[in-house]
Amino acid sequence: MPELPEVETIKNELSPHIIGRRFTGIAICDAKPIRQPSVEEFCRKLVGQKINSLKRRGKYLIFHLSNGEALIMHLRMSGALLLNPEQPDSYARVIFYFDNNDQLVFTDRRRLGALWLVENKQAIIGKLGPEPLVPEFTINTLAERLHKHKAPIKAVLLDQGTIAGIGNMYADEALFKARIHPLRKANSLSPQEIQDLYQAIRHVLCSAIDNKGASIDTYKRPEGEIGTAHFNFSVAHRGGEPCPVCGTPLQRLAIRNRGSYYCPNCQEARQT
């Protein structure tokens, strides 16, 4: 499941191969991911464009093109971008061809991923909250945003309009590291807890980027390698296993229809 660290890794590893390249063709194997504009217009406008830069915002990848437009991608649950894959892929949805004969395959087993080609990228990414890893994102930024919500802290961390880029895995990991129960109301956290959570978010995300993302499910890096961040996970997807700190069996709880894994001993409920 590509979250911020996975998308950041894809951006970093893809950039040296595609910056300055020109699209020479597109093969649409499945039109469903193409949201905007029509498939015909998407292909017509993209071919011939050069890629000036590749950026990440939240979980979105943004290709800035020579005509001023932007190709925006969201991988959702099972999407991946593979550079010159050796094996044919039955889940390939869109194949991009470049002027150096490289191919970039957008593959997506569960067909939830999305592609846009737009003049105004703000229409797609304009409502995202702040990036958690930039210097401007301070403890006060986090505190101000959490104070506005009385929903469970886990749900608020997943809200991309509050903070961009955190998904289910890293929300669980950050809450465990900060020793905060996932059902605590966001506006009930003490200043100390907010500071702990702030540091936990940054540590968990930076560590995952250092490990090139987490390959728990279908995530692969552009050249086919897996990431290794999941080997460091403490609680995510580990229901029933012992807590790495105290040995208590980790529990699973559904919050907003999302599996939340936590240690009932280390992450005390207190008032929720």
Partner DNA sequence: CTTGGGACCTGGCTGC
Partner DNA sequence: TGCAGCCAGGTCCCAA
Residues noted as catalytic: 2-3, 59, 258
Q: Which of 47, 112, 143, 245 is the binder for DNA (CB under 7 A)?
A: 112
For residue 179, state whether it binds DNA (rule: CB under 7 A): no
Shortest Å, Cβ 16 to DNA: 25
Residues 15, 36, 160, 199: which binds DNA (CB under 7 A)?
160
Nearest in space to 246 (alpha carbons), one of 176, 173, 175: 176
Q: If binding is defined by CB under 7 A, does position 206 make contact with DNA?
A: no
With binding defined as CB under 7 A, does residue 3 bind DNA? Answer: yes
Does residue 270 bind DNA (CB under 7 A)? Answer: no
Q: Determine contact, residues 221/212, Cβ cutoff 8 Å.
A: yes
**CA atoms of 170 and 183, how far apart (whole Å):** 16
Q: Please identify, among the stretches 48-56, 61-69, 131-139, 253-261, the one whose residues bind DNA according to the rule CB under 7 A.
A: 253-261
Do 99 and 18 form a contact (C-beta atoms < 8 A)?
Answer: no
String of contacts with DNA for each residue 6-45, x by CB under 7 A: --------------------------x-------------
Per CB under 7 A, the segment of 15-23, 45-53, 92-100, 162-170 that binds DNA is 162-170
Which CB atom, from 17 or from 117, has the smaller least distance to DNA? Answer: 117
Pair of tokens at residue 87? 């094996």
Tell me whether residue 79 is exposed, middle or buried, using C-beta atoms within 10 angstroms of its C-beta: 0 to 12, 13 to 18, 19 or more.
buried
Smaller CB distance to DNA: residue 87 or 101?
Answer: 87
Q: Which of residues 180-199 bind DNA (CB under 7 A)?
A: 186
Question: Tokens representing 58?
Answer: 């939240």
Considering beta carbons, is residue 46 or 164 the nearer one to DNA? 164
- Cβ 149 to DNA shortest distance, Å: 4
Give the number of residues in contact with DNA, rule: CB under 7 A.
37
Give residues in contact with DNA (CB under 7 A). 1-3, 32, 58-60, 74, 76-77, 109-112, 148-152, 155-156, 158, 160, 167-169, 186, 217, 236-237, 239, 252, 254, 256-259
